[in-house]
Structure 1
Amino acid sequence: MGLICDVVGRVLALLLLISMPAFGQAQSGDVDRTAIVGVIQKQLDAFQGDRAAEAFGYASPDIQHMFGTPDNFLAMVRQGYPPVYRPRSVDFRELVTSEGRIVQKVLFVGPDGVPVIAEYVMERQPDGSWRIDGCRLDRSGDQSA
């Protein structure tokens, strides 16, 4: 009987140890989602105030390199992404993995009243922070995404 209790105890301890990393990952995922949503929301707030340098600061190094200056970046967003630049409403949807990248989906209703889904590709920086590495708009108006 003692041997059976010892074996059962060890199995339970092993199961507990195996389940602990999964629990940690779930908590980490929640923290990442909160951090990712925060970065996107801060960039949206910067767009609302036409604070080009601040908005540019939330873009990944590759995006910053591509546009060169905060003013170039803001001009591109203003011209090519009106729902992001001046949304009527914003609804953060699911955080997914696509082609090995973390993607935050956001439903925007643009200034024209048309809903679009934005897919924000996120990039973790060496210091652990998140930056936006691209945004693709799906103008299909599919609100179920």
Structure 2
Amino acid sequence: MKELAQVVAVDGQRVTVSTQLKSACSGCEQNTTCGAGILSKVFSDRHSTFVVKTESPVAVGEYVELSIPEQQVTRFALLLYGLPVVTLLLFASVLTSLTAMTEGYIILLSFSGFAVSFVALRLWFRLRDVRVNQLLVVSTPAHPSP
């Protein structure tokens, strides 16, 4: 997976880069008539800024290409989308078979486990941020302009 980013600041090997957040609407043919497409144009000036390490010499204002292996993106996506659903189903089945609670409590507790799994994933991803930065490769793009 590759993304083009602009260098905002340089501090030795630590480089602050800014990328523009994209929506799927930019590639859709119906984006001028669809409500979601119109809203994506209204909120189109969204940027993400973060710090990466690189040994390549870069200058402020220069564009760099950020890349991360597809397997890692897939693994993180499966965790983010799959684990909460598995947690919800696991809580529901365990509570149904092991307790004599009413259905309303089981549903409430299952959704509570679902929410807790999101919070746990958020904390875990913050700790993994260091590893993601190690997987990220910063290089000079073949086409320097965005």
Both structures adopt the same fold (TM-score exceeding 0.5): no
Structure with larger RCO (C-alpha < 8 A, sep 6+): 2
- When you count strand as a share of all residues, which structure comes out higher? 1
- TM-score category of the 2 structures, normalised to the smaller one: under 0.3
TM-score normalised over the length of structure 1 = 0.25
